[in-house]
Structure 1
Amino acid sequence: MFDTILIANRGEIAARVIDTARKMGVRCVAVHSDVDADARHVAMADEALHIGGAAPADSYLRGDAIIAAAQATGAQAIHPGYGFLSENPDFVEAVEAAGLTFIGPSAKAIRAMGLKDAAKALMEEAGVPVVPGYHGAEQATDHLAAQAEKIGYPVLIKAVAGGGGKGMRLVERAGDFADALESARSEAAKAFGNDAVLIEKFIEHPRHIEVQVFGDGANAVHLFERDCSLQRRHQKVIEEAPAPGMTDEVRAAMGAAAVRAAEAIGYSGAGTVEFIVDGSGGLRADGFWFMEMNTRLQVEHPVTEAITGVDLVEWQLRVASGEALPARQEDLAITGHAFEARLYAEDVPKGFLPATGTLTHLRFPPGARADTGVRAGDEISPFYDPMIAKLVTHGPTRDVALRRLATALSQTQVAGTVTNLAFLGALARHEGFAAGEVDTGLIARDLDALVVTPAPGARETALAGLAALGLLGAEGRDIGFALWARSARTLILRRDEEDITLRVRVLSADASDVTVDETTVEARRVGGRWRLDDHVAPEVAVTGDTVTVFAQYGIEFGIVDPLIRAAAAGADSAVIEAPMPGLVKAMHAEAGQAVSAGDRLAVLEAMKMEHSLLAPRDGIVAEVLAQAGAQVAAGAALIRLEEED
C-alpha cells in the first residue's frame, strides 16, 4: 500500500478520497488554486501545495504542476478524482513516466473509451448492444443531415468527446437539424477542443441505467446498477440504486454486458458503463443499449457503496497498489435501496442558472451521508462547478430510502446563495417518482410544478421580522425589551420582488405580536423555544441584510433599507444585465438594431455552460455596453434598449 498519495482535484471528491485514505493510514497531499487556499479539502489534507490561478487551465488542469507537487511531497501515486484530468490519457502517461502510479485505468483504456464513436464500434465487437446511429468520420453537414433522416427523427446529436450533456442536442424534426448541429459543434469545441459529433436514435421513453464495474487489468466484476434517469438538460439530479423495476434476468444481462465492456479494454479500477434503456414496456433483456463508459469514479458512486457495503475508493487504492480484485462476483450482493440528491447553488426559477455567493450558513441533518467540499463561510466561486453537497440516504426498501431522502432535504439548511433544495424536495415527494415511474423526461413534463417557489405564510414572515429586529436573543435577556418596551415598529421585508410590511409590538423579552398584512401572529418564548401561534418556530439565520427562515427548504427575505430603496427607484428596466459573473462569449446586438421580445442578444459563458440573454421586449438597441471577450460581474449592464414611447 502507498504511504502518500496526492489528490489532483478539489471540492467534495478530494475530501471524499481523503476520508478513505486517512482511514487506511495513507498520508494525503492536496493541491489548490488561488481561490481554494482555504478550501475544506486543503484543511483536511496532511500537506497542501499551491499550483496556480483560479481558472482550471491555470491550476487543476496543469498536469506538469501536479506531478511536480507529487514528487516534491514524496507521494507515490496520484488520485485524479473525477473531472479535470481524470480521463486524460496524456496525463496518465506523464504520471507513469515520472515514476508515479495513476490510481485509475491505463491510458490505453481511457483512449479506447474516450471517443464515443470509436467506443461504440469496440463495444459492438465485444458483443455489447449499441444504439442505432451514425458514428462515422465524415462530418460534413449535408452528410450528417442525411444520416439523421436515415436513422429517423427524433435523433440526438452528441459530441464524440463529450460528457455532462455538453455538445448534446435533441432534434425532433429535419428543419431544426442545421441550427442544432451548429450549436452542438460550438459547445463541443469549447468544452473538449473537438467539434466532431455522432448521431443516435432518440429513445422516446428512455431510462438512464448505468452499471458500476471494477477491474484489475485482467478480470472485472460489476457492483450492480444505478438508475440516473432523473435528469434535466442531460444533467443528473437524483440517482438511486438499484434501479426500480429491475428483474434478476435484466440485471444479469446488463451486468454481463458491462463486464464484457470492461474486460475488452483490460480495465483497471472503478468505471461505469452507461446504458440507455427503453422504459416504455418495462425492463427487458433486449431493451438496453451501450451509451458510453466513464473511465473514472462517478459522482453518484455513494449509492452503490450504500447498497453493497463496499468502499470504492478503498478498492481503487488497493488495486492501484498491486492487489487483485478484493471480491469475486458471487461475493457481492445488494442490501436495501439508496438515493443521492445533488445540491447545487443555482437559481431554479430562472432556468437553473448557476449561482455564486458566500455560504453564510450550512447544516446537514443527522442520519444522511453528506459528501461536501464546502463549509459555512466558504464561497461558491464562478470558476468551478457550483455543487454544494451530495445527500445520500439508505433504507431497507425504496419507499423507506426515499422518505428518508425527503426528510433529509427538508432538514438541510443553506443560506447565502440560492439553491435547488426546494426543487430536490419536490422531486423527492413527486408521486410518479415515488411509484417508480422514472424516465429522463419526467422533470421536463412536470417542470412548472417542480419549480414553484415556496410561499411564506404569516408565521414564517413574522419570524423573519423578529429576527431582523434582533428580538430572538437569549431567554430572559432584557436588553431588547428595555429598548422596545411599550413601542411598535414598522419593518419592510422583501420577498420575490415584493414588499411585505410588518408591524411589530413588543410585549416583553419573551413575547411580541407581529401583524403581517391583516394577520396578527403571537410570538411567545416558552421553555427556551419560540412558538408562533402555538407552533414551534423553525430555525432562522440573519446575515447582513438577509434573513433566512429554514422552513419549506429555506425562505429568504431581504431587509429593506429605505435609503437604498430610494436610490434604486430610478433603475432602468430597459437594461439587460448579466445574471451571474461570466465571460461574454458572443454579442449579437448592435446600436440601432430593431429587436423582438425573445431575440438572442448575447451569450454569456459561466460555470462551464453557455447562457443566452434574450430581449425582454420589442424595441431598438440604444447602446451596447460590453463586447465579446469581456469578463463581467453579476448585474453588469450589457445592453440598453431605447425607452418606449
Structure 2
Amino acid sequence: MSNDFYLNNPLIHADRQLANHSSNWVRQFSCEHLRPLIICRGPIRKEAMDVFTEMGISHFGILLSEKDSIVYRNALAPELRQFTDPDRVHRVPDYSGANKEERNQRIAQIIGIARDNGYNSIFAGYGFMAEDEAMVAAMEGAGLNFIGPCSRTVHDAGLKDEAKRTALQVGVSVTPGIDNGTALTLLKKHPDTAALQALAQEHGLTVAGLDDETLSLEARADLVLAASYKKGIDIYTVDELAETLTEAVERMAAEYPQNRVRLKAISGGGGKGQRILAIGEAAKTPEMVREILNEVKTTGVGDNKNVLVELNIETTRHQEIQVLGNGQWSLSLGGRDCSLQMHEQKLLEVSVTQESLSRAHEDAVAGGREQEAEVLAQDLVTLRGMETEAERFGEAVGLDSVSTFECIVDRDKHFFMEMNTRIQVEHRVSELCYGLRFSNPDNAEDSFVVNSLVETMVLLAAHGPHMPKPERVLRSNDTVEARLNATNQALRPNAGGVIEYWSDASAGEIRDDQGISLHNPDTDVFMKYTLAGAYDSNIALLLTEGESRLQTYQRMAEVIRRTKLSGRDLATNLEFHYGLVNWFIGQNINARPTTRFIVPYLTAVGELKRLANNIDLVLAYDRLGKAALEHQPETARAAYQQTLESKYSLLRRPLAELLAEPHVMAGWLSVNQHNYKLQGGGIEWLVNPIQLLADTYYFLDMEYRDDLPAAQVIWDHDHELLQAALDFYAQLSERLQVQSWADVQAKLQLSAAEVGQDEELWVSIQAAHLGFQSGMDILAVLPFIAASTGFFDLTVNPDLTINIPERLLDTELQDLMAKVLAPPPMASSDEILAASGGMFYPRETPEHEAYVELGQHFEAGDPLYIVEVMKMFNKVYAPFSGTVDAVLVEGDGVIISKGQPLFKITPDEVVVIESPDDVRARRRVVTNEFVESMH
C-alpha cells in the first residue's frame, strides 16, 4: 500500500483538484502552472510525486543520483517507473556534494537542468539542500520558485546562531550558552573597531556598518565574518576557534558543574554536527569541534565554521512545534514529542496536541491519579506556550512556508533550540492530527481543506501573499510514527543488507516509504532492495492514529506484529519498536521519557539477552518434567510423561523465539507483568497459563494460519492441542459459572459434591485439567529472567518520570550490553575486524596523522579509525591494548565491509576464548538456578 494507501485514505484525502472547484475564489489557488524539479530522494520524493499528481501538476522531474543505482539491481526504483518520459529523470553524481566546491557545482547544475527542461520551481524535501541558504538564494536569483522557506528565512531562522539572537529579541526562551564563537575568536586577535577595519582592508573585504556605533563589537565582527564567507576566504583558523570554544566550555562547566555541555554546528541537523562533552571533558573540545565540522562538511576555505556551545539540559524532553506561514501570518499545528532517540537520531515520534492532553488530564483526574494529572496540566500549559512562541518567532523571521520550531522541555520550563527551515521527516505526525481550512475572508462558506503539508508548501510557494490565515481542523487526537531503520539490535547502523520480502501493509497502517514495498507492476513480484550505506539508515516511516495515545500505540503494536521483513544480511529495528511500544503499553502510555532513556532501556534489554543466552530450554523442560513426575501416582506416570512429550514443541517454540529476540521478550514481559506473582516456592499465575500461551502465539504472530509455512506459525498438532485446551476451559468456566482463573482453580480443588457435579465426570475434568497444565511451569522462565535481571526496576513513576536504576547508567555496562545485543564479528586474537560496513577513515581530518600506524602501541580506549555509515561518522576505539603489526586498509574514504580485517595486532594480554564445554557448563548452572527457584 505504501504512500498509495496514505493518499487514498479518506481520512487523509482533501480538496486537491482546486482548478476544478465550483468556486472562483478557490480556483485562483490552483497550482497547475508549477513545473517542479524534485532534488531529493527517499519517502519525501515519492510523497511529492503523488501530491503533485493529485494537485494536477503534470510536468515535474527528479534528480537521480549515481548512488541510487546500487539500491535496485537491474531496475529503477518503483517510484520512478511511473515516469513515461525518461527525459524527466536527470542524473547527477549525488544530491548535494561533499564540500563547498561540489555543492556550488551541483547548484549550478540544478539551475541548468531546470532552465533546459522547462522547470520553474524546485522542491528539496527534507534533505540538507533544503536548508542551504546559498542554494535557496541561487534558485531565487535564477528566477526559480523555491518550494520551501525563502533565503531570508533560511538565514534568519535556519542558521542556529542567527536564530538564537532573533529568539532573544522576540522574547523566546533559549538555552544558556554562546552563539558567536567565531566573532569572539576574531575579536581576540582584532579587539576593536580599528583593528576590524584594518583586517577588512587587508583582505579586500567590503563591509558596510563597521562605524555604526549602535552595533555591538560582536555584531561588527559578524559583519566582517559575513564578508569573508562571501568572498570565500578564512580569517581565523579551526585551532583558534577551538581555543575560544574550549574557554567557553570551561566557563560553562564552572557555572553549571552538574551538567554536560553540547557543541552544535550552526549548519547541522538531524543528529549530524552535534557532540556532548561529559563532565570534566573540556580538553576534548578541539577534537570534537573538528569531528563536527567534518560531519557537516564545513572544513573548506570560506566555510562558516561557527559552533554553538550550549548547556545540556540533562532531563530534557525533545519537543517540536509544527509551524507554517506566508510571510505575514504564522500558525502552529500542535507538537511532537521526539524524546525517544539515540545518537541524536529520532526513533519514535508522538503527537502532542491540546485536545489529547486535555482528554488525558480528565482521565487522570477521574482515575484519582493526582500526580499524573498535575504533570499533564503543566504539559498543556507548556504546549500552549511553545505554540505561541513558535508563531511569534515565525512572524519575526518572515516564515513563508512550512518549518519546525524545536524545543527542549524540562518539567515546567522549555527552551528554544532551533528552527528547521524545511519539512521534517516526521511531518505526517502533525498532519494526521490537524488539517487546514482556508476560507474566503468575504464568505466563510467559500473554503477548501488541505490535509497535506507538502501540498501546503506548494500553495504557499505559488500563492503565499494571497493565502488567508487558515484555521486548523482536528482530524485525530493522537498519532505515532516509528522510524524503521537499517540498524542492528543495539541500534547501530547496518548498511549493505538486502530486503528480499516485505509483507503488505495491514489495516490501519500508514507506511511511508519510497515505494520499496510495492511489487513490480508487471510481474507482481517483490523487487529486492539494497540498503546502501551512501544514504541514511531510514527504510520507512510507520504511522498509526487514534482517539487516544493508548489506542494509537496499540494499533502500532498490531501493525508491527503483522509486519514481516526478510532478506540477506538484513538487520532492522523492527523488533526494537515492537518491544518499546509494548513497554509503554505495559507501563504507562503517558510516561515522559527524556532523550537519555533509550540507552538505559537498551542496556536493560541487553541484560535480558545475556541471561537468556544462558538458559537451556531442553534441560529446563526435562528437569521440571521429572520433578512433576515424582508427584504423580506410579500408575499415572507413563501417561503423564507422554503428555509432557506431546507438549514439548508447543511450549518450546514460542519460548525459544522470545529468548532469541530480546526486544520482543521485553515487550512480552511488559504487557504480561501483571499476569503473575513470583513467590519463594515458584510462580502464581493470575491468568490461565493456557490462555497466556495462546496470547503468546498471537503476540509472536505465530497463531494458526494455513497460508503460511509451518516454520512461521504454530504446528498443526500443537494447534489442535492448544485449541482443545482453550475449549476445555471455556466450557469449564461456563459449567462452573466462574470467570477468573483464581476461581476456576479454587473450584477444581473441591469435591464433586461441593460443586454439584457427577463424580465420574468430575474426576475426568480434574484429570484433564492436570494434563492440560502439565509442563506449563516452563513459562516461568520468562518471569525468572525479568526478576533475575531487575528488568522492572526500569519503571514509570506516579509523576510520569521514568525511574532509571543507577546500574543502567554505567557506561561500561552499556557498552557491554550493546555487544550482547549485537555481537561483534568473531576475530582471532591477533586482528581487529570492522564492526560494520561503511567508509573507512584512518585519521581525524586530511591534515592529521593517522590514529595508529605500523609498529605503534595503543591503549584500550584509544581511537583506531572512523567509519562513515549512512551519513553518520562513528569513531571506533580500541577494545584492548596492543601493538600494530600491519595496517590492512590504506587511504581515506575506502569502502569496507562488516567483519573485514583492518589491523593485524599483538595484544598486550592473551585473549582467552571460552570453550564449548565451558559454555555448556555455564548454561547448565544458570538453568539449574531457574529450576531450583520453582521449588
Give yes or no for TM over 0.5.
yes
Map of 1:29 onto structure 2: 61
Map of 1:81 onto structure 2: 125
Residue identity in the other structure for 2:559: A
Map of 1:407 onto structure 2: 558
Map of 1:485 onto structure 2: none
Q: SS at the partner of 1:230?
A: strand
Residue identity in the other structure for 1:414: L
Contact 2:275 2:292 in 1 (8 A): no
Map of 2:320 onto structure 1: 210
Residue identity in the other structure for 2:840: L
Map of 1:168 onto structure 2: 274
The equivalences for 1:187-586 within 5 A come to 187-193=292-298, 194-242=304-352, 245=376, 247-279=379-411, 284=412, 287-309=413-435, 310-323=451-464, 328=469, 330-333=471-474, 335-349=476-490, 352-363=492-503, 364-373=505-514, 374-375=516-517, 376-416=527-567, 417-431=570-584, 432=587, 434-450=589-605, 530=710, 531-532=714-715, 534=717, 572-578=828-834, 579-586=836-843
Contact 2:249 2:309 in 1 (8 A): no
Contact 1:583 1:606 in 2 (8 A): no
Q: SS at the partner of 2:536?
A: coil
The equivalences for 1:178-189 within 5 A come to 178-189=283-294
Q: CA RMSD in A?
A: 3.1
Map of 1:624 onto structure 2: 887
Map of 1:548 onto structure 2: none
Distance 1:149 1:441, change over 3 A: closer
Contact 1:582 1:605 in 2 (8 A): yes
Q: 1:167 Cα shift?
A: 2.9
Aligned-partner Cα distance in 2 for 1:211–1:410: 30
Map of 1:15 onto structure 2: 46
Contact 1:31 1:42 in 2 (8 A): no
Map of 2:903 onto structure 1: 639
Aligned-partner Cα distance in 2 for 1:387–1:172: 28
Aligned-partner Cα distance in 2 for 1:171–1:331: 41
Contact 1:303 1:339 in 2 (8 A): yes
Contact 1:356 1:386 in 2 (8 A): no
Contact 1:11 1:41 in 2 (8 A): no
Q: 1:406 Cα shift?
A: 1.4
Aligned-partner Cα distance in 2 for 1:130–1:367: 39
**Identity of paired residues, percent?**
31
Map of 1:91 onto structure 2: 135
Q: 1:3 Cα shift?
A: 4.2
Map of 1:145 onto structure 2: 249
Residue identity in the other structure for 2:93: G
Contact 1:161 1:192 in 2 (8 A): no
Count of residue pairs the alignment pairs up: 545
Q: Which runs of 5+ in 1 are unaligned?
A: 460-494, 497-522, 538-568
Aligned-partner Cα distance in 2 for 1:324–1:50: 32
Contact 1:34 1:50 in 2 (8 A): no
Distance 1:252 1:73, change over 3 A: same
Map of 1:39 onto structure 2: 77
Contact 1:15 1:40 in 2 (8 A): no
Map of 2:172 onto structure 1: 128
Map of 2:236 onto structure 1: none
Distance 1:44 1:366, change over 3 A: farther
Map of 2:630 onto structure 1: none
Q: 1:329 Cα shift?
A: 5.7
Contact 1:30 1:45 in 2 (8 A): no
Contact 1:426 1:450 in 2 (8 A): no
Among 45, 57, 71, the alignment partner of 2:97 is 57
Q: SS at the partner of 2:248?
A: helix
Q: SS at the partner of 1:322?
A: helix
Q: 1:266 Cα shift?
A: 0.9
User: Deviations for 1:363-391, whole angstroms, at most 9, x for unmatched residues?
Assistant: 33332111102344121111111211000
Q: Which runs of 5+ in 2 are unaligned?
A: 1-30, 70-75, 185-240, 299-303, 358-375, 436-450, 518-526, 618-658, 661-701, 721-824, 844-849, 911-935
The equivalences for 1:591-602 within 5 A come to 591-602=854-865
Q: 1:42 Cα shift?
A: 2.4
Contact 2:246 2:282 in 1 (8 A): no
**Structure of greater relative contact order (alpha carbons < 8 Å, 6+ residues apart):** 2
Contact 1:5 1:77 in 2 (8 A): yes
Contact 1:584 1:629 in 2 (8 A): yes
Distance 1:359 1:123, change over 3 A: same
Q: 1:102 Cα shift?
A: 0.4
Distance 1:4 1:450, change over 3 A: farther
Residue identity in the other structure for 1:385: D
Residue identity in the other structure for 1:532: W
Distance 1:146 1:633, change over 3 A: closer
Residue identity in the other structure for 1:391: L
Contact 2:704 2:719 in 1 (8 A): no
Aligned-partner Cα distance in 2 for 1:605–1:13: 23
Greater shift after overlay, 309-318 or 180-189?
Answer: 180-189
Aligned-partner Cα distance in 1 for 2:826–2:246: 52
Among 70, 86, 95, the alignment partner of 2:114 is 70
TM-score (norm 1): 0.78
Aligned-partner Cα distance in 2 for 1:527–1:95: 57
Aligned-partner Cα distance in 1 for 2:703–2:79: 43
Distance 1:290 1:121, change over 3 A: same
Q: 1:262 Cα shift?
A: 0.5
Residue identity in the other structure for 2:81: A
Aligned-partner Cα distance in 2 for 1:126–1:359: 49
TM-score (norm 2): 0.54
Greater shift after overlay, 236-245 or 204-213?
Answer: 236-245
Contact 2:884 2:905 in 1 (8 A): yes
Distance 1:224 1:584, change over 3 A: same
Distance 1:535 1:31, change over 3 A: farther
Q: SS at the partner of 2:875?
A: strand
Distance 1:185 1:642, change over 3 A: closer
Residue identity in the other structure for 1:145: V
Structure number with larger C-alpha Rg? 2
Map of 2:215 onto structure 1: none
- Greater fraction of residues in strand: 1
Aligned-partner Cα distance in 1 for 2:707–2:416: 58
Distance 1:116 1:524, change over 3 A: closer
